[in-house]
Structure 1
């Protein structure tokens, strides 16, 4: 990639920003030296690795990089036989420890997210734990060689400390015994010598070596002879100690040299990983999205320049698909150059494996080179004008550009006569179109607007400008050329109308028509945007209503299904109760079969008939309305298809569309399409009551005369149940007058019976007080 293009697009800013998110000097150095990849496959792998690192940051937090530094120079020195200082050996141990901590972090992160690339990179690392332990056993965290680094060092330091203690003891004794000759009772250090501050007139009273004299000459600093002998021994021990430390450091350096190559590999891995996580941290801060690399096609959605980020107006750009050349026009300070730099810098970032500050996932065409001509390139040293500097750059560009290059040209053809500049710009664009590269060019020339209309590989675009507020909106409008707006701006600022009129006369008629055409295009675009916005709002509203309807429909279906289930369960419970009662009655009938003349097979059939009362499960599909061929009439025996229950019609609507059906103890209104007629109404005074396909005659009265109270009440309960099911509104209980015991017991029982609405004695012609007329509760 050309260094000039990287500088013009301010690529260094991205390097510095990513370096701030690096956690070690390795990552910072890698970020500052980062370059775009030359192969698309390498860039794609980098994007995948940064994606993994970002997911690790979000799920597992940042990796541990404390204490990791660049030790490559130390490893090279150890390999050639050099001796490393204690500080550098400690740095080697810290890197080994940091690498092991990072391995543990990745193993933990692998349980939360998929980390394929991180795991593959870890396979290249070596855990030199033994080397770290040897260094730690000899050097502490303050980079000081420990006493127990060797037996000899321990003995030397013990002896030296003992000798130093003797020096202190001798000096303390002399301080106490020579206070009269001392200037003050202290021990003074002169270099490495322990001295007493003796008054000059008493210097001969202290046996020793004069090491210094005060500035006034009144004090002589004497090292006592008794101390000199001990101090010499201390210095000899210090020299031996330094030699032993050198030997220990050399031995540790040789240990490091054995694993130097493996540790160099660890350094490279940690450097790469730190850069991945730095890119991920920068992407997290910018809320950036992962781009998709393509072969020469750009689709940017809501792109922002990283330096402006949320303060920038998002830009939507498409290039390389339907057209290869985009010509951007518009007023100065309208954002053309920023748009150009945004596209170029985001392309460099994607090629470097970085996420992009876009509103959603975008596509970037991978380039072999990016050629840039932006800004004032005038060179005073070379005595070149602005135009000459631009031409020199473009000439070099034309000699090196290829089909898979991206060319960014700012103010193409500017700096010279407009007629010649526009002609030269068109010629340059034609050459670039012949090469087939992707080009984005900004210009003020009206001729280039027409060029884009006639060139099938080119497209006009403009930076929107609000004439009412006299401010640019910084929005890029693809497909619409920009207007000059000079006369409109002058009029808004208050330029006299006569001057404006004269200016309009000097404007070529074709230019006026072009401006009017562009104005109409802008109006049409705004109308289209408004219509699209309204259509989007309507679509969102319809989607919301559809979702509400679906939710309500699903809820109603669930409620209906729950009601059907409860009805079936209730019906099954009623049938089970009826079966139990029928078994009891059958047992009693068998006891009386000889008197009643009932055959065994008839009793069996009655019992089997109860099995049909269990409600049928709902079928997968409802029967169609055509299955109800007979006309609905009151008293007809029917089946409610949706419930699988059988009952009798007690009421029919005027139009015949619905009917009230008696289903056991329950009445419900049912649509005609949900009713299947099983048996037409019987033309008899008695009602045909069907239970599970077996008919039984229910008379309008029940005679219990001559029975005991218990037997009579049991028969009355059964009779009233059958009357309710059969839909008889009024029945008569014949109990006779007699002594009144049976009559009174029956009437007391009827007063509290749940199926009885009211009960009164019979009237004249009905049996008088020997019967009770019952109104059944329906």
Structure 2
């Protein structure tokens, strides 16, 4: 990708933001070196990695790689058998600690979770915990080795401590004894690494020992008493032994690390690569960006695109598409209307997407893979090179025309500006025609009306404009594809106070064709606003119709299920009656056969007959009772009151009376969120416990039931709550929903760590009035939503 386009489109500022997201020095280096790719396989792999890292960040938080240092130099020394210093060994230990943290971060709580593109990288990490623990045990800091690093070092340091104690004892006794008068000060000091005392020069002969130093005036001599010379010698020998033992410890640790050269190098490379990937994901999180889809057909379809360098709370999202129905887009409109921002947004998002970065746009926006992006944006006038604005632009355009092909994206800002308008417009049309003939994807901004006409009259070329509100004299920054922009110069001048007679004079200077063209644009704009409002209204109607259709289909499904259930129950009942009849017949035949053999008396035969008759009477009585229960008479109008509990027989649903019957016997019944008009003959009064108190009458109870039925929502949102808070709120909501006769409700708990979902499911298992519950289907919330069905 050419460096000029990267600079013009401010790609370097995106790289600066990305670099700030990395936590290791090598990760930052990879971010700084990131360039757009032109291989779709590489781009899609990088996008997949960014998406998977972003998913992990949302689920588990960020992962830091701050302890990952460049240890390649240390590994080279280990490779040739060298010994590392404490700092280098601690760097290896820090690398292994980061490896261990990354390994733990990647561990999945849910074993059934689908694998992602980062699993392989995390699995290759080897923490080498024994080596890290050994380094940490032996080395406390870059300046300190632990006493327990080896038995020899521990013994040497114990001897050094004992010898030091003896030296201090001897010197303290000397300082506080009878020789105190010979000393300049009653202190013990160090000279050349040996313990000394300050002796007055005139008493040199009274204190036998070795002189190591004297004061600047010569009045004080620093003498090592003979009594501690040997002890000081012992200290020096022990220090040399300590240093030798430390070198042995470092050599042993280096040898241990040298056994894992390839593992350590692989760990470092993997962690640096992961830091690079997670930096891309963290940037996507900051920008609220999403993964784009890619193609190699030159098709762009960016939905709700936001320029990433403009504050996300003030930027106006735009929709841009190019390459499917047309390959040349000409954007017109007033200055400061957002034309250049739209141009830069397309170019910068293309570069970001091809660099493996998510783009700040709506999900599943489409980008094409371009081998080159050419951008001529801004005023590049150069005094040093004696180039005018027009000349500098034309220099860029010449280079573009030489190199651009069908795999290029070309962006022009104010094409043909800086020279005579007539010649500039003609030149712009000629340049665009040349690019259009080659099928090169091109986007250009302009003020020239000639280019608007060219776009209207040329197949494969489309107009677009940046919307401007003449009433407020402010741009809306919305990009409208398919509609050419109007200059609005006269309207804006009039709003700003320019006299009308001057504006009328200016209008006279316009050609009839130009004025007619501007009028056509105004008419098109008015029609566009009207059509857009009507489209929104149609969308709203379509949504309502779709909801009604879904409700009707759901009702039809329920009726079909109830029909099948009734048929099944009737078949089972008939089968049971036939089975019992067969048993009666078999028993009767046995009795008569027994009587035919004259083994029973007439009295016994009569007794058997009476038993059979009594049994049949009992069965008939039970069937009669069931029939009476099933055929409970329909209520009369005078029996119904608003708020009474009823059952709608045709729907097999419970509800509450919402209105009294009209003269035709029709009334409204509230069944959960469904309010339907039914006939009184389709109702059956039901007795159920109601809310009563000393101050509530039947009518008030009915109103409470109706209020529940009318205002209980079919969904509760528990996101952001603790388990205890969620259960408390869910308990009251489910009681209200069940009392309102809702068949089922949705409980939104989110995915997160799964703790809230487990708490909700554990609570639902204990509710007796819950028939069953399950996670929602894909597209309805899946693992973040639970569907609860109540018992009827």
Per the alignment, residue 663 of structure 2 pairs with: none
Per the alignment, residue 314 of structure 1 pairs with: 317
Moved more, 548-557 or 525-534: 548-557
Kept in 2, the 8 Å contact 1:9–1:345? The answer is: yes
Per-residue CA deviations over 1:30-82 (Å, capped at 9, x if unaligned) read 22322222311011111222222223333344446463333223223433454
Per-residue CA deviations over 1:691-735 (Å, capped at 9, x if unaligned) read xxxxxxxxxxxxxxxxxxxxxxxxxxxxxxxxxxxxxxxxxxxxx
Distance 2:519 2:209 in 1: 109
Per-residue CA deviations over 1:384-436 (Å, capped at 9, x if unaligned) read 33333322222222222221111122222222332232233223223322332
Per the alignment, residue 468 of structure 1 pairs with: 471
Per the alignment, residue 13 of structure 1 pairs with: 13
Per the alignment, residue 494 of structure 2 pairs with: 491
Alpha-carbon offset, residue 190 of structure 1:
5.2
Per the alignment, residue 284 of structure 1 pairs with: 285
1:464 aligns to what SS in structure 2? strand
For 1:162-201, list aligned pairs within 5 A.
162-177=162-177, 178-189=179-190, 192-198=193-199
* Unmatched tracts of structure 1, length 5 or more: 617-666, 670-778
RMSD: 4.4
Distance 2:407 2:313 in 1: 31
Per the alignment, residue 157 of structure 1 pairs with: 157
CA 1:223/1:604 → structure 2, altered by over 3 Å: closer, same or farther? Answer: closer
Distance 2:192 2:373 in 1: 66
Distance 1:515 1:167 in 2: 104
Alpha-carbon offset, residue 501 of structure 1:
1.6
User: What TM-score comes out, normalization by structure 1 length?
Assistant: 0.69
Distance 2:127 2:136 in 1: 15
CA 1:605/1:479 → structure 2, altered by over 3 Å: closer, same or farther? Answer: closer
Kept in 2, the 8 Å contact 1:373–1:408? The answer is: yes
Per the alignment, residue 121 of structure 1 pairs with: 121
Matched, 1:512 2:515: yes
Per-residue CA deviations over 1:334-362 (Å, capped at 9, x if unaligned) read 11121112111111121122222112321
| 1:477 aligns with one of 477, 480, 494 | 480
Moved more, 320-329 or 207-216: 207-216
Per the alignment, residue 267 of structure 2 pairs with: 266
CA 1:232/1:487 → structure 2, altered by over 3 Å: closer, same or farther? Answer: farther
Distance 1:588 1:147 in 2: 104
1:343 aligns to what SS in structure 2? helix
Distance 1:405 1:398 in 2: 11
| 2:344 aligns with one of 341, 348, 353 | 341
Please tell me whether Structure 1 or Structure 2 has the larger radius of gyration of its CA atoms.
1
Moved more, 304-313 or 382-391: 382-391
Per the alignment, residue 629 of structure 1 pairs with: none
Kept in 2, the 8 Å contact 1:182–1:199? The answer is: yes
Per the alignment, residue 99 of structure 2 pairs with: 99
1:117 aligns to what SS in structure 2? coil
Alpha-carbon offset, residue 461 of structure 1:
0.8
Kept in 2, the 8 Å contact 1:289–1:357? The answer is: yes
Matched, 1:326 2:326: no
Kept in 2, the 8 Å contact 1:302–1:360? The answer is: no
CA 1:318/1:202 → structure 2, altered by over 3 Å: closer, same or farther? Answer: same
CA 1:376/1:561 → structure 2, altered by over 3 Å: closer, same or farther? Answer: same
Per the alignment, residue 58 of structure 1 pairs with: 58
Alpha-carbon offset, residue 280 of structure 1:
2.2
CA 1:179/1:421 → structure 2, altered by over 3 Å: closer, same or farther? Answer: farther
| 1:354 aligns with one of 352, 357, 373 | 357
Per-residue CA deviations over 1:514-566 (Å, capped at 9, x if unaligned) read 21111111111111101101101111122233334445555666678888899
Distance 2:122 2:227 in 1: 64
CA 1:112/1:304 → structure 2, altered by over 3 Å: closer, same or farther? Answer: farther
Matched, 1:70 2:70: yes
Kept in 2, the 8 Å contact 1:147–1:153? The answer is: yes
Per-residue CA deviations over 1:281-315 (Å, capped at 9, x if unaligned) read 33233332211111111110111112233421111
* Unmatched tracts of structure 2, length 5 or more: 593-600, 628-680, 684-792
Per the alignment, residue 645 of structure 1 pairs with: none
CA 1:113/1:68 → structure 2, altered by over 3 Å: closer, same or farther? Answer: farther
Per the alignment, residue 231 of structure 1 pairs with: 232
1:311 aligns to what SS in structure 2? coil
Kept in 1, the 8 Å contact 2:15–2:31? The answer is: yes
Distance 1:158 1:114 in 2: 58
CA 1:20/1:604 → structure 2, altered by over 3 Å: closer, same or farther? Answer: closer
Kept in 1, the 8 Å contact 2:390–2:418? The answer is: yes
Per-residue CA deviations over 1:435-481 (Å, capped at 9, x if unaligned) read 32211111222222122223322211111110010000000010111
Kept in 1, the 8 Å contact 2:591–2:605? The answer is: no
User: What TM-score comes out, normalization by structure 2 length?
Assistant: 0.68
Kept in 2, the 8 Å contact 1:571–1:614? The answer is: no
How many residues in Structure 1 have an aligned counterpart in Structure 2? 615
